[in-house]
Amino acid sequence: MSHPRQAEFNHLYALQRSYRWTAKNSSVEHRCALLQKLRATILRHADEVSEALYADLGKPRLTKIHSEVQNAIIAIDNAVANLHEWVKPVLLGQSKGFEGADMRLEYEARGVVLIFGPWNFPFQLLFESLVPALAAGNTAIVKPNEMCPQTAAVSARIIAEAFEEREVAGVEGDVGVANALLELPIDHVFFTGSPTVGKIVAAAAARHLASVTMELGGKCPAIIDGTFDLDKAAELVAEGRQHNSGQICLATDHVWIKEELLDSFLAKYQQILERKHFKNGVFDPSTMSRMVDSRNADRVQGYINDAVSRGATLLRGGRSEVAPDIFEPAILLNVPLDARVMQDEIFGPVLPIQTWRHPAQVLDYLQDNNKPLAMYIFSEDQAFIEQVVAGTSSGGVTINGWASHWGEQQLPFGGVGNSGSGRYHGHYGFKELSHERAIIAHPISADKEKDKPWLERIIVPVSAMPK
């Protein structure tokens, strides 16, 4: 049975399908103008975005321009500043058998792109996905996440104000709307979310042979060997674990620390929690974002309960008594590796800590489990760093920092295997949302030998082969 709004969605798709050839051949100036108009529209609604994020997730209103708005603007400015270079054809040298041929790579739009935004950073990641789609000359149907209704509404208003529907159309709605949009024979899907839903999206895209970009997250480990300043390591782990109450794909999901360092690390980590999230020893809920809904709060508490039932120690933290959808930062010790908290992406402010005596213990675990979106190595021992990098795989790596590989626009960002596919940010986003088209032009020649089909010129006859 088709969705009640299927005719609406079909109409939007038809508009964009007809317009995609105009968009494909649009000038750099036109694309930059679209991005600048989006920028101006976002800034006009910046206060509404901040209020919406507070209403949906309890994100603190710390500055006039929210960080989610700032990061979307950074992506736009980077694209506008560099698009003239990104669109240039890549000229290739000549090769044997193709002498005189003009070979090049050109970037062309994929066509109609369907973008699904996540709920954890519902504004920033929605528009960071849209920016490369526009820079590459695509049209886009954009669905904000329904779990953050206030942010979805302001995002849809911004899109409607900045674009014609044939260029970009915002569509609000629930999972049924998402499924209906996936019935459209779109050219590319950009999805940010969980691996479970990612598999559903990828299967739907495969029905139309649409290409996909998947940013799916994963259990990002922090590995500490004691050669890096332990105070700094604890601070960075805490930042990565508590940011947005752990509802971030780049969170430091769990720690592997050398056994003899455990007590010292715990003391430093707990001091940081007291300083940042407690007042006179009493937890301050205003310092933490809310869990997105009670279902996810129940899920995270379930991880804690499961780990404790298997013999783990809850050193501190858990669901707040004064605000049930907010968690006090939690620490779990002696967690069995088969506990759910060590198998599933936590997406909450719970830190399981594992100890190791030999690097092989860490590498064996990481090799036996899904590849994470990020890995954090805290070490000044270059041999140790190289051993960990060589013995593991992840979407990206930050050494002696947290999520720096995400923040640097010159680096590609994305996952591998269970943590995603495809790359974006900066030039890599432009290329991801483009088709890299191979073009070779043979010269007109009076030389009959050169005019032969290329296959005849490069294949050696059997009679001429060495005996």
* Residues recognised as catalytic: 215, 249
Residue with tokens 């455990």: 262
Please choose, from the candidates 145, 127, 150, the residue with its C-alpha nearest in 3D space to the C-alpha of residue 52: 150
8 Cβ partners below 8 Å, 6+ apart? none
Beta strands 112-116; 139-143: pairing state: parallel
Residue among 296, 346, 324, 323 nearest 147 (CA): 296
Copy the structure tokens of residue 305: 């309960």
Q: Give which of 298, 373, 379 is closest to 340, Cα–Cα.
A: 298
Which position has the token pair 């590459």? 136
Separation CA 404–CA 313 (nearest Å): 32
Please give the Cα distance from 433 to 338 (Å, whole number): 39
E strand intervals along 341-455: 350-356, 374-378, 396-399, 420-421, 434-441
- The answer to whether 384 touches 225, Cβ cutoff 8 Å, is yes
HSE-up of 144 (CA within 13 Å, CB side)? 29
- What are residue 343's DSSP bridge partners? none
Q: Is 186 exposed, middle or buried (0-12, 13-18, 19+ CB in 10 A)?
A: buried
Identify the CA nearest to 165 among candidates 140, 190, 146: 140
